[in-house]
Structures are given as C-alpha cells and as structure tokens.
Amino acid sequence: MNDSASFSSPPGRRRVVGTAALGATAGLAAGLAAGVAVALPPKAAPIPPAPGRRRFEGKVIAITGATSGIGHAAALAFAAEGGKVAFCGRRTALGAEVEHEIKAAGGEALYIKADVLVEDEVRAFIDRTVTTYGHLDVAFNNAGITIEKPLHEYTADEWDRVNNTNLRGVFLAMKYEIPYMLKAGGGTIVVTSSSNAIATQAKRSAYTASKRALVGLVQAAALDYAPQGIRVNTLIPGTTDTPFLRKAAGMENVPDAIWRVGLNQWVKNNVPGLGRLATAEEVAALALTLASDEHPFMTGAQIVLDGGKTAKAG
C-alpha cells in the first residue's frame, strides 16, 4: 500500500481523507450545486507508452496486493512488457477482472486468491506461481493496510493487523520467493514501503512502524542474498491517487467533480512540492525500473517517489 492521507478509523473501517477535508467536500458540493465554478486538482499527464519495450520478456513476476491501485497498475505494466504475471489479493471478483484485463490486452496472467496474513496461503501462492510458469524471476511485494488513531487507542489486534500485513506479510512472501530465486541463480525483489518511513504524522504509529521496519528488512535481506545474485530494493511512494483513496473516504457515490474538488482542498493543505498526488501508473513505472536489469549495481536502496513531500519535512 502507498502512503495514505490522514484519517481516523473505527475498527473495520478505513478513512483516507480527514474530517476537515470531508467537511470541505460537503460545502463544495453545495457550492457546485449552486453553480459555483471551482478548479479541479492538478493531475499528472499520462505516462506515454513505450512501444516495443520488453524488459520482462520470458520472466515470471509474482505480485502481492494487485487487485487494485499500484499493484493493479504494476500487473498491467509487467504483462505489457512480456512478463508472465501471477498476482494475489483477497478480493476474488477484482482479481478475476484484473486477470481478464491483462489477457484481453494480449498479456499472460494468473490470479490466485491469497491473504498475506495467512502463511499457508502465501506459500501456496508462490508455489502455484512456479508450478504454473516454471520459475520465479521478480517479486513485487506490495500488499498493505493502515488503521490510524492515537497510539493508546489501538487495540492489540489492530496493531497486529497492520504490522502483520505490512511487515510480516512481506517477510512471508520473501521467505517463499527467495528459495526459488536461489535455485534459479538470482532474481529481483521490490518492496513497497511509504514516505511515512521517512517523515510521518500523528495517528500513524502502527503504519509508520511497519513501513520504517520494511526499510531495515530490505537492507538486511539485500546483504543476505547479494552474493547469490538476488537484489532487493525498497520503493517509497508518497500519497497516491487510487480508487482505494475514494472508497475509504466513503465517496464512491458522489459525482467525480465533487470528489476531486474536495480532494484538491486536502492536497493544497497537505502535499508540498509538486502539489498533486502520484498516479498508480507513475509508482508502478518506478517499480518496474527497480525490478528490471537496468541497474544491476542497485541493492538495499530506498528510492523515494513523493513529489517533494519529504523534502519539506522538519
């Protein structure tokens, strides 16, 4: 999961846009209804296609958390460059949609239902990937969640759920990916952390602890396996504009213009630097670069893609 916006969640519900921003959205909705013209937030230009680029031709890629957002964008991109993509997630219907989308575009993909909280399901996901495609070259360990509230208000179960998904889930994925890579003589692993690993905010202690720990995990693993040809790097995205952002805010059913205007107000107050959110495609593009053979001397690195957010920290 990418860096989230500020929210406070009761158990079982995740919010992304804070209450002030949601209040602003409601006010803006009324204004729009009265015919008030309000500018929409800036959006990134689409990443231009790269015809003929086939960095992952014949390679097998395993992705966790790929039924939406960054993982979804990465699955499409890996497949478009010739990769055989196996991916997991908990939401079966979305997984089937992503698999169909890739195949309809001429790519090769396999959705496998798995929750990174469950060791047997992680093992089965990786084993089936290799059984289906014969080997494993690349892993993009991207699954993650967040619950945000003051530290003393977390239940132990909530704390464990965040850390077990974000940190233990990556450990489990790597535990079962690495033996196959060792057998093949090498591979690349990319782990999604967050800009909260560098500079965080209130109510993010569980999320920040897990995402900062991932940086240390990657550094140690990179040293463990560099002699065997396995490179491991951390991707550190800032706040990313994904469908999850809107769903978590409970804004799925409002007109798109109203949602984006409310989001714009939040961005103006909370996103320094370029003053916009990342797109899932931008973050996925960097994940592919890290997973490719373009930088064979890079391992144990933390690559930040946050539009300048953490440059202003402190």
C-alpha span between 128 and 270 (Å, rounded): 42
C-alpha span between 8 and 26 (Å, rounded): 18
Q: Are 231 and 298 in contact (CB under 8 A)?
A: yes
- Residue 305's identity, in one-letter code, is L
Q: Are 206 and 150 in contact (CB under 8 A)?
A: no
C-alpha span between 301 and 169 (Å, rounded): 20
Q: How far is CA 263 from CA 86, 128, 250, 266, 296, in A?
A: 33, 40, 13, 5, 39
Handedness of CA 81, 68, 174, 3 (dihedral sign): positive
Nearest in space to 238 (alpha carbons), one of 73, 47, 4, 8: 4
Q: Are 14 and 147 in contact (CB under 8 A)?
A: yes
Q: Helices (H), strands (E): how many in the chain? A: 10, 9
Instruction: Return the active site residues.
Output: 207
C-alpha span between 28 and 70 (Å, rounded): 29
Non-local CB neighbours of 72 within 8 Å, separated by 6+ positions: 66, 98, 280
Interhelix angle 19-33/256-270, rounded to 10 degrees, is 140
